[in-house]
Amino acid sequence: MNAEIYYRRIVGILQPARLQNTRVIVVGLGSGGSRIAIELGRIGVELVLVDLPNERVEEHNIIRFPLGYPVLGQLKNEAVASHLRDLNPASRVTTVNLDVTTQQKEFLALVRSVSPQLIMVCVDNEPARHCINECAVAAGVPQVAGGVYDGGIGGEVTIASPQAACYACIADHLQLTRQAPVKPRSIDYNNLDVAEIQSTCALNLDIEQIALIQARIGLHILLAGDPDLTGIPRTVNLCVFCNRPLTGDVVLGRPLHCEFFSVPRDPECLVCGASSTTVSSEANRILHALEAQAQHTATVNPTE
């Protein structure tokens, strides 16, 4: 591999050397996370690809997963890592399999040891997003999260930075002000497939459209805005993209259009606000009291 020739077509936009010391954790290697990993990894960003234990490419994934039948049955993060090494032999990519919701401590330890400049949140459920948010806030790492609306009508990208609104602030704000637009879908009850029903109904191009916006914003953060790849004001932390005009709680009149919002930090947020310290010290106090009680009980009622 001749790096000078390899990077020749992008040096008019950014200096690849600037990405040499950047590290990103990508959580969730579905179709969106895979696309993001591929786009960042091929230009030299170091990646740690985190997915659930035993999360493998199944046949119903193939229509949206970028690597097709050759990787059927493989772990998704391993398949993407291997593809990245083909695309860019100098790419620095490792894989970790853990469940961020049930192994939050391990995930926090991983974030602290990797010390990434950014976490790309590409999971498909809210509990996982909140678990990642808590770890990112504790470690002081920015996060960019993407979500696709059911029916592929659009999606949103959120940006959570230390010292600004965290994902919990943004999610709370959205819950109070609107419901995410959801298009009812018709389910073929004669051919029930649990995995398909639970997963968002969208075309690959619907998902990749949001993933590419997420990747672009992430790259913009990694380069600290130099060059300015998005032109989005610093205060923006929510981008809503629609493929076609939306009505209802969110009204977006123009198709193929992005709207930008600045959600304020909630000073009372339990994750990043002033009360978070109170909540965590209160939790510690209760924990210590319970431990002391358990020790006392064990002394009073010895089991042997």
In this complex, which beta carbon is closest to Zn ion, that of residue 100 or of residue 271? 271
Letters for 159-198 (x = contact with Zn ion by CB under 5 A, - = none) are: -------x-xx-----------------------------
Least distance in angstroms from the C-beta of 175 to Zn ion: 13
**Spatial CA neighbour of 161 closest among 262, 275, 278, 268:** 262
User: Cα separation of 90 and 130, whole Å?
Assistant: 33
Q: Which positions from 251 through 280 interact with Zn ion, judged by CB under 5 A?
A: 269, 271-272
By CB under 5 A, the residues from 192 to 231 that bind Zn ion are none
**Minimal distance in Å, beta carbon 199 to Zn ion?**
28
Q: Tell whether the torsion through CA atoms of 98, 173, 267 and 235 is positive or negative.
A: positive
- Nearer CB in complex with Zn ion: 160/219: 160
d(CA 51, CA 192): 26
Examine residue 132 and tell whether it contacts Zn ion (CB under 5 A): no
To 5 degrees, how large is the angle CA 230–CA 233–CA 234?
Answer: 105
User: How many residues bind Zn ion, per CB under 5 A?
Assistant: 6
- Name the residue number minimizing CB distance to Zn ion: 269
Residues 71-110, one symbol each (x = binds Zn ion by CB under 5 A, - = not), give ----------------------------------------
Nearest to 72 by CA among 59, 83, 82: 59
Minimum CB–partner distance for residue 272 and Zn ion (Å)? 3
* Least distance CB 166 / Zn ion (angstroms): 3
For 4, phi then psi, to 5°, come to -60, -45
Strand partners, 49: 26, 95
Question: Residue 165 CB, nearest distance to Zn ion (Å)?
Answer: 6
CB closer to Zn ion, 110 vs 272: 272
155 vs 175: CA distance, rounded Å: 15
**What are the start-end ranges of the H helices in the chain?**
3-6, 31-42, 76-87, 104-114, 126-139, 167-177, 194-198, 204-222, 274-300
What's 149's DSSP letter?
-
Nearest to Zn ion of 214, 237 (CB atom): 237
Nearer to Zn ion by Cβ, of 79 and 169: the residue is 169
Contacting positions for Zn ion (CB under 5 A)? 166, 168-169, 269, 271-272
